[in-house]
Amino acid sequence: MNMKTQILILFIGIISILISCNNQPTSKVEEVKNTDTIETVKADTTSKTNEIATTETVEKPIQKTEKKEASSVLVYNFHVTNRCASCIAIEEATTKTLNTNFANELKSGKIKRFIIDVDDEKNAKLAEKYQVFGSSLLLVLVKDGKEKTVDLTGDGFKFAKSKEDRFIEILSKNITELLK
């Protein structure tokens, strides 16, 4: 693809996101506090204290002398600062799914959940790594130093607001598959 085509595709993608989210400012959603089931973390790719996997950690090849890493599923809720009702519905349904169906996995650290504002400059490297420019829901299996990413953004926008049960079913099935 030439540069003009890439810029055109990027421009159309950004316009699509803005249209789908109506670019409406909404009131700030209260974040889930540290409970026994889920902890919401604002991602900062430069910090070691928030347990987010950095590029060096995730993509580091395993040496023969190293112990293999335990697998984990990272749940990334990316969003822009001004959020629409659908973006909020995706986050709320994801929280509900994780707290209801995967509470033990959250407690044990097999699942880690991150809510990330892509407009915040400190999250630029992570957003770039996953090529995220707006609202997105990604499941990332980290196993043996490699990643497998499942993008559920389309299903989130399609079902989270109007057919939450269907979205929860899809999300649960995908997480269960990654945990196998």
Kindly report the CATH number assigned to the domain that includes residue 165: 3.40.30.10
In a domain, 23, yes or no: no
Q: Model's pTM, two decimal places?
A: 0.63
Q: Using CB atoms within 10 A of its CB, is residue 37 exposed (0-12), middle (13-18) or buried (19+)?
A: middle
Instruction: Using DSSP, state whether 18 is helix, strand or coil.
Output: helix
Q: Which pLDDT score, from 0 to 100, does residue 5 have? A: 73
In a domain, 9, yes or no: no
In a domain, 28, yes or no: no
Cβ contact 112:43 at 8 Å? no
Which structural domain, as residue segments, surrounds residue 121?
35-179
Q: Which pLDDT score, from 0 to 100, does residue 70 have? A: 73
In a domain, 18, yes or no: no
Cβ contact 31:79 at 8 Å? no
Which residue reads 């609202």 in tokens?
135
Overall domain count for the chain? 1
Q: Which pLDDT score, from 0 to 100, does residue 71 have? A: 86
- Residues in the chain predicted with pLDDT less than 70, given as ranges, are 6, 8, 10-11, 13-69
Distance of CA 146 to the CA centre of its chain: 17
In a domain, 172, yes or no: yes
Exposure on the CB side of residue 177, measured as CA atoms within 13 A: 11
